[in-house]
Amino acid sequence: MIEYWRMRPIATDTNDFPSLRKDGKIYVDKTAFVCRMASDANTKLFFISRPRRFGKSLTLSVLKAIFSGRRELFDGLYIAEKTDWNWSETYPIIHFEFNDVTTTSVEEFEAEFAAHVRERLEVAGYAYDEAMTPAINFGRAIESLSAANGGKGVVILIDEYDAPVGHCLDDIAKAEAVRDRMASLYSRMKNRTGDIRFLLMTGISKFTRLSVFSALSNLVDVSQDEAYATMFGYTEEELSANFEEHLREHAEKMGKPYDEYRAEMKKWYNGYRFSTEVETTVYNPVSVALTLFKKERDFKATWATTGRPSMLMNYLKREDMLRIDPERIRGVSVAEFDVAELRNLKPIAMLFQSGYLTVKDYNPLTKSYTLGVPDEEVREDLCTLMTGVAANTDMQWAASLGQKLLNAMWDDFFEGLQSLYAAMAYGSTERRVHENSYGRCLSFLLASCGFDFTMENVQSNGRADVVAKHPAEVCIFELKVDEPVDKAFKQIYEKNYAEPYLAYGRPIWIVGLSFDSKTRHLVDFAAVTYGDADTKQGAG
């Protein structure tokens, strides 16, 4: 019998490795990757990008403890038990964390940026000179700290190097100004690599126009390197080895057989793949921590509750996302991941960099990627975002519209749906908007509230436009353009679209939607329970 009261606590609120270890909280041992990186004989300058809340800050904290010689924190971990790491050799450490630097204005950014650089250089042991710029101070700090360490070099850890640029993508002129200020700091490493023992720079995106990438010709980007594919996130094996008791307790609370519980958890939180050569997918660490800490009766989209990436949110304010089908994007070239030009950012690149898309497959012959949504919690959050963008309104409105559908509040649902379609923007080159165009927006809404939906659902008698299944109900949507909604109902009944779902034991709703091709608005609508065609609800 599992003694649940003896389970090791789960860390949900710390990126500080020493605190985590002292408090006895679970740490999934990633020191084999860290040791490989820190001991690499071919390079000492690394860059890696990962989505938000994937353990980047914790990894830098681990490196800081290693290069500070804090052997006592690593008892039982790979680097202490399986390697001959020299703990007596320590280094001065410059550790920047740029995620919280304010970008309300360029002037405010410059002030906070300078204050952050000064504080971190002084913590490292450098006497900051107010008469010089932050960039000049940084360059001199590298030289002087290395000299004070007998020429062995300094360790530089830069967390979220791109965050200030991402914070202001809704104002490109400001983003470019912020980028240029930061570039001047990073360029100071160019002629000082001999004084750098080790560098790891992390971020969400690779803004290739930042001078660090051109200045440091030997900076190695390992973002898709197979050797580091599972350095961030948890594999199935790591989840079992570290959280087994928590997992079993949660399965009991949910009333699910353990194997069924694990399969559903994988569907919800494990789908990220970071290498074309390694097919292993990983769990989002914060999703695992919050889910197993709370142990609620159902799985929820936890990642979004920790805050959406400002980089993507600011981008969504000025881009039409409705032409993208995020479920399966084929034929993506490596050039499409580039975010070099701030004035010409690509939706696919932004969604991939921020964690809403991941690698599903890679074709070495065509050198092209297939991308898709990683898992269920990301799907729900992305579709809520898409619906809100389509309606040009806030995300809470989109979520509430989904709740009205789940509760069969048809009058309110159709009123909201009319507003959603009225606000949709279509490209000027589209001469005719087909039923599928309307269905795409509907699919975002359905996915955002937990429906398992199929567009163009193929059956023996025909194809239903959209079939959406949920533990609470089944909805069969038929969309018409320039035709009355009664024709939608007639087609559903004549083709027996509901027949495959009669054994589900759930209410089955038949929903007809009719659009005007000239205005592109939803003009007629109704919902009926299957077998009750004479009683329409929410009829337009």
At residue 340, the pLDDT reads 64
pLDDT band at 357 (very low <50, low <70, confident <90, very high): very high
Q: Render pLDDT for 400-411 as a digit per residue (tens, 0 to 9).
A: 887 888 888 999
pLDDT band at 78 (very low <50, low <70, confident <90, very high): very high
Q: Is the pLDDT of residue 217 over 80?
A: no
pLDDT band at 513 (very low <50, low <70, confident <90, very high): very high
At residue 432, the pLDDT reads 44
Q: Is the pLDDT of residue 499 over 60?
A: yes
> What is the rounded average pLDDT of the residues 185-214?
84
> What is the rounded average pLDDT of the residues 9-22?
91
At residue 172, the pLDDT reads 85
Conformational region of residue 520, where left means phi above 0, alpha means psi within -120 to 50, and beta covers everything else = left
At residue 50, the pLDDT reads 92
At residue 431, the pLDDT reads 42
Q: Render pLDDT for 249-279 as a digit per residue (tens, 0 to 9).
A: 999 999 999 999 999 999 999 999 999 999 9
Q: Is the pLDDT of residue 490 over 60?
A: yes
CA distance 147 to 150: 5
At residue 437, the pLDDT reads 64
Percent of the chain with pLDDT over 90: 50
pLDDT band at 343 (very low <50, low <70, confident <90, very high): confident
At residue 74, the pLDDT reads 98
* Cβ-count burial 392-415 (b if 16+ within 10 Å, e if not): ebebebbbebbebbbebbbeebbb
By the 8 A CB rule, do 222 and 46 touch?
yes
pLDDT band at 530 (very low <50, low <70, confident <90, very high): confident
The structural domains of the chain, ordered by start, are 15-223 (3.40.50), 236-299 (no CATH), 310-376 (no CATH), 392-529 (3.40.1350)
At residue 390, the pLDDT reads 63
Mean pLDDT taken over the chain: 86
At residue 532, the pLDDT reads 64
C-beta atoms surrounding 257 within 10 Å: 10
At residue 416, the pLDDT reads 86
Most confident of 63-72, 292-301, 396-405: 63-72
Q: Render pLDDT for 110-141 as a digit per residue (tens, 0 to 9).
A: 999 999 999 999 999 999 999 999 999 999 99
Tokens coding 80:
């202490």
At residue 284, the pLDDT reads 93
At residue 433, the pLDDT reads 46
> What is the rounded average pLDDT of the residues 360-367?
91
> What is the rounded average pLDDT of the residues 63-89?
97
At residue 320, the pLDDT reads 55
pLDDT band at 429 (very low <50, low <70, confident <90, very high): very low
Contacts of 79 (CB under 8 A, 6+ apart): 31, 32, 34, 35, 66, 85
- DSSP string for 447-511: HHTT-EEEEEEEETTEEEEEEEEETTEEEEEEEEESS-HHHHHHHHHHTTTTGGGGGG-S-EEEE
